[in-house]
Amino acid sequence: MLPCREGPGHSNRTALLIPTKPTTDIITVLSVSTAMSDPQRPTVLVAVQEAPIAFNLSASIAKLQSLTSQAASKARRDAQAEWGNDAASRAQILVVFPEAFLSAYPRGMDFGATVGSRTDQGRAWFRRYHQSSVPVSDVEGAEMSAIRKAASDNGVTLVVGVIERCDGPISGPPREQWGATARGGSGTLYCAALTISPTGQLLAARRKLAPTGSERLVWGQGSRGDIRVADTPVGRVGAAICWENYVPLFRHALYQEHAEIWTAPTADGREQWQSTMVHVACEARAFVVSVNQFNTRADFPEDYPCLPDAKSTDVVTRGGSVIVGPLGKVLAGPLWDQSGFLTACVDDIKGEIIEAKMDFDATGHYSRRDLLKLVINEDA
């Protein structure tokens, strides 16, 4: 038995690291038909359950590019099988990666910090973590250009979880067009989700509003500009990172932004997470794409101090990625204990959502604005 945090921000929990099953390349496809189908706008939703090369940004970006290409190719084959060549050629594709894919969710790491004390080794590991994070504000720099290229080379809308650092140069469009106005401290990291268009344009880079538990030691907090969704070719895409999905007011804020596809990059591999995703889909009346990493000890550096007795094939994060429709029906997954892809072919995103909202619309006919309202501090 080894110390391992399966839920985000949890410390000192004991979990059994189980041997991995042989890694397979899985695609789960479920067709979603609707009477209000728009043959011009079929969509394929793709969840990529994989692991980065932890603490190695360049290698992780290369893996992102390769996996995005694989996901796009398989999505197009699925679209062709589902709709035929003509409709498949018009299909839009959304590819979603897990929380902190670039380039590590530091599971089990305490960075040498206890109440009233820090260690030199812990500070050295934070330095490595900082060096392997993404300088998001340098939109036209080498790292961000390579990330954006993963979307543009494959003609897909891309959502990917990253760890953002703020000490690099600034280039490209001003932050207020795609993220929080505040750049952030030069030594502060943020857990963020990037949304990138099929032409490689950065549409949104929103930071997690409140890191969970021990995450707060190494991740800063988001701000008002991080309550946003992105207009994309597949619809209005929101990103609620991990346990932000448990915050009712934040969820409602995204509902008010009319999120149609709710992405949930996560580090939560508990089975309870599945019911959360079904609930969010029902409440939002949106398609939900939740994506977690599947990784083993071999995906972390050899000198990673948190898994000293683990074998290279021992599972650290089980996965559990899932795709859910706007009435709470599970369309693909959950996928456990192996890497792979989940896909769902949807005839008409907007039509399905309109049908679902006939009897429940959290910010419309089912709201009571005369009694209840959400107030957002615009100065935060």
Coil, helix or strand at residue 171: strand
Distance CA 175, CA 251 (A): 23
Task: State whether the Cα torsion 180-182-186-188 is positive or negative.
Answer: negative
Distance CA 45, CA 337 (A): 21
Catalytic residue among 208, 260, 306, 345: 208
The verdict on whether 99 is a catalytic residue reads yes
Catalytic residue among 50, 82, 99, 143: 99
Distance CA 61, CA 150 (A): 9
Task: State whether the Cα torsion 176-178-182-186 is positive or negative.
Answer: negative
Q: Which residues of 61-73 are buried (b: 16+ CB within 10 A; e: fewer)?
A: bebbbebbebbbe
- Structure tokens of 104? 């590590």
User: Whose CA is closest to 343, among 328, 332, 329?
Assistant: 332
Task: State whether the Cα torsion 66-96-191-178 is positive or negative.
Answer: positive
DSSP assignment letter at 357: T
Let me know: does 18 contact 314? Beta carbons within 8 Å: yes
Distance CA 77, CA 275 (A): 30
Task: Compute and round to an integer the Cα radius of gyration of the chain.
Answer: 20
Coil, helix or strand at residue 287: strand
Q: What CA dihedral angle connects 296, 302, 304 and 306, to 10 degrees?
A: 50
Let me know: does 235 contact 349? Beta carbons within 8 Å: yes
Coil, helix or strand at residue 141: coil
Catalytic residue among 4, 166, 242, 282: 242
User: Whose CA is closest to 207, among 231, 235, 230, 239?
Assistant: 239
The catalytic residues are 99, 208, 242
